[in-house]
């Protein structure tokens, strides 16, 4: 009789646990969703990561200490970097970002290691055949870029990561893709947190694509009242795009309108003309520089045209055959 009562108690406890469990399920579910929406919860770790991490660290990660494991792996990754073990390094970063996907730092450093350090390492491996060097270089640039693309997918509201990705796309020493660069800058700008230079960088990326140049000019005109948009590169671009829109204009007149004085026009347009890596439109620039050199009586030796020829003779990129 006594144990019957005891058994009843245990059944009662089991029943209460079940009922409470059923009651809390929707509560927990709602809270989980809310936390996920707020970016405070992270998706479950992938099976592959689990294998990468190893048994003991995995146990630590299970104990609710994912960031701690990521920190330890980051230290390990640093030794891979010192030893130039790039594959291990990249795997370590994949794992870290799976454990701590909201940490910009890991995406930032990881992509930099892959796209810059690892690719440069192969670029400089003179003992390898050129074909192999080029293939490795390319693979690592791509891997770093893909890694960063994954990073912005996980952190769509992080303007710095978008900006980093845009640098990757527009770096003349990497695999240039101006359309993607423009898109990445746009996403960065649209987070609402980015600094003004991001908007300007987006316009530069637009201007590098011939089919986007009309829109770039519209954008520049819209920004022209903003004092923060009055930087030299922006003014030079404005000159080239305005000239492109109306090639019949007098270069000197347009230059004075945009820059205010002949000296300033010469300095800014000269630098613009020498910026070969910028790949900006140069409509009317040579014409204006020629007129201005004439009017300012620039010495033949110091001519922008002479300087430009010198720069053009220098190789920029060992593997780049696009230009």
Partner 1 sequence: MDAAVEITDLTKDFKTGIRGGWLRAVDRVSIRIEPGEVYGLIGPNGSGKSTTMKALLGLVAPTEGSCRIFGSDSLAVDSREKVGFLPENPYFYKHLSGAETLRFYGKLCGLGGRQLDERVTELLDLVDLAGARDRRLGGYSKGMLQRIGLAQALVQDPQLVILDEPTAGVDPVGSRQIRDLILELRGRGITVFLCSHLLEQVQEVCDRVGIIFRGKMVREGRLDELLAIEDETEIILRDADPALVGRIAELVAADGRASLTHTGKPRTTLERLFLEETRKREEARSSS
Partner 2 sequence: MSGSRPRLLNPGRVGVIARHTFTQLVRMKVFYFLAAFALVLIGVQFLDLPVHHSPESTGVQLLFSIKSAATGTMTLFAVVLGVVATALLLPKDVEDRTLYTILAKPVPRLDYLAGKLLGVLSLIFVSLVIMDLLLVGVLAVKTNAVVAQQLAMADAEGWTAAMKANLEADTRQLGPTWSLQGAVLVVFLRAAVIASVALLLSTFSTSTLFTTVVGFMIYVAGFFQADARDFYFSGGEGMGMAGRIGSLLVAVVIPDLQIYNVIDSVIQGEVLEAVLLLKVVGVTAFYVLVYGFCSWLVFARKEI
- Site residues for partner 1 per CB under 8 A: 1-3
Nearest in space to 319 (alpha carbons), one of 205, 179, 180, 172: 172
Q: Cβ distance 84 to 121 under 8 Å?
A: yes
Q: Give me the 20-59 binding string for partner 2, x by CB under 8 A, dash otherwise.
A: xxx-xx-xxx-xx-xx--xxxxx-x---------------
Contacts of 198 (CB under 8 A, 6+ apart): 159, 163, 185, 188, 189
Partner touching 78 among partner 2, partner 1, none, CB below 5 to 8 Å by kind: partner 2
Return the DSSP state at 117.
I
Q: Shortest gap between Cβ of 109 and partner 2 (angstroms)?
A: 6
**Alpha helices (runs of H) in 125-177, residue ranges in sequence order:** 130-154, 159-170
Which is nearer to partner 1, 1 or 313 (by Cβ)?
A: 1
Interface with partner 2 in residues 118-147 (CB under 8 A): none
3-state secondary structure of 31: helix
Binding segment for partner 2 (CB under 8 A), chosen from 83-91, 95-103, 132-140, 177-185, is 95-103
Nearer to partner 2, 86 or 266 (CB): 86
Which positions from 182 through 211 interact with partner 2, judged by CB under 8 A? 193, 195-197
CB of 2 to partner 1, least distance (A): 5
- The residue (of 116 and 121) whose beta carbon lies closer to partner 2 is 116
66 forms part of the interface with partner 2 (CB under 8 A): yes
Please give the distance of CA 182 from its chain centroid, rounded to a whole number: 11
CA neighbor of 234 nearest in space, from 220, 246, 248, 244: 220
- Given partner 1, partner 2, none, residue 3, with its beta carbon under 5 to 8 Å by kind, binds partner 1
SS3 213: helix
Cα 218 from Cα 239, distance rounded (Å): 13
Q: Which is nearer to partner 1, 3 or 56 (CB)?
A: 3
Least separation in angstroms between residue 5's CB and partner 1 is 8
If phi over 0 gives left and psi between -120 and 50 gives alpha, with beta otherwise, what is residue 313? alpha
User: For partner 2, which is the closer residue by CB, 109 or 304?
Assistant: 109
Tell me which of 76, 91, 112, 274 binds partner 2, using CB under 8 A. Answer: 112
CA distance 259 to 271: 13
CB 114 within 8 A of CB 147: yes
Binding residues vs partner 2 (CB under 8 A): 5-6, 9-10, 12-13, 16-18, 20-22, 24-25, 27-29, 31-32, 34-35, 38-42, 44, 60, 62-68, 70-71, 74-75, 78, 81, 100, 102-105, 108-109, 112, 116, 160, 193, 195-197
């Amino acid at each position: 009789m006594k144990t019957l009562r005891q058994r009843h108690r245990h059944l009662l406890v089991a029943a209460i646990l079940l009922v409470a469990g059923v009651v809390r399920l929707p509560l927990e579910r709602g809270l989980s969703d809310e936390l996920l929406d707020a970016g405070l919860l992270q998706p479950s770790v992938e099976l592959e990561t689990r294998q990468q991490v190893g048994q003991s660290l995995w146990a630590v990660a299970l104990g609710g200490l994912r960031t701690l494991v990521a920190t330890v792996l980051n230290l390990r990754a640093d030794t891979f970097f010192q030893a130039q073990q790039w594959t291990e390094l990249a795997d370590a970063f994949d794992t870290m970002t799976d454990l701590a996907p909201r940490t910009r730092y890991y995406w930032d450093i990881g992509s930099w290691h892959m796209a810059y350090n690892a690719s440069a390492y192969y670029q400089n491996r003179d003992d390898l055949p050129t074909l192999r060097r080029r293939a490795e270089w390319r693979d690592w640039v791509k891997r770093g870029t893909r890694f960063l693309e994954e990073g912005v997918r996980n952190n769509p509201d992080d303007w710095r990561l978008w900006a980093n990705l845009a640098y990757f796309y527009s770096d003349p020493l990497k695999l240039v893709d101006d359309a993607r660069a423009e898109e990445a800058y746009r996403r960065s700008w649209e987070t609402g947190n980015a600094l003004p230079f991001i908007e300007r960088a987006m316009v530069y990326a637009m201007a590098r694509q011939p089919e986007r140049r009309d829109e770039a000019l519209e954008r520049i005109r819209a920004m022209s009242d903003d004092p923060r948009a009055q930087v030299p590169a922006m003014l030079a671009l404005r000159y080239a795009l305005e000239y492109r829109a109306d090639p019949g204009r007098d270069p000197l007149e347009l230059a004075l309108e945009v820059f205010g004085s002949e000296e300033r026009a010469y300095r800014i347009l000269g630098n613009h003309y020498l910026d070969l890596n910028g790949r900006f439109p140069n409509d009317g620039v040579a014409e204006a520089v020629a007129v201005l050199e004439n009017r300012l009586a620039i010495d033949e030796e110091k001519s922008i045209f002479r300087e430009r020829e010198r720069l053009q003779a220098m190789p920029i990129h060992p593997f780049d055959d696009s230009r």
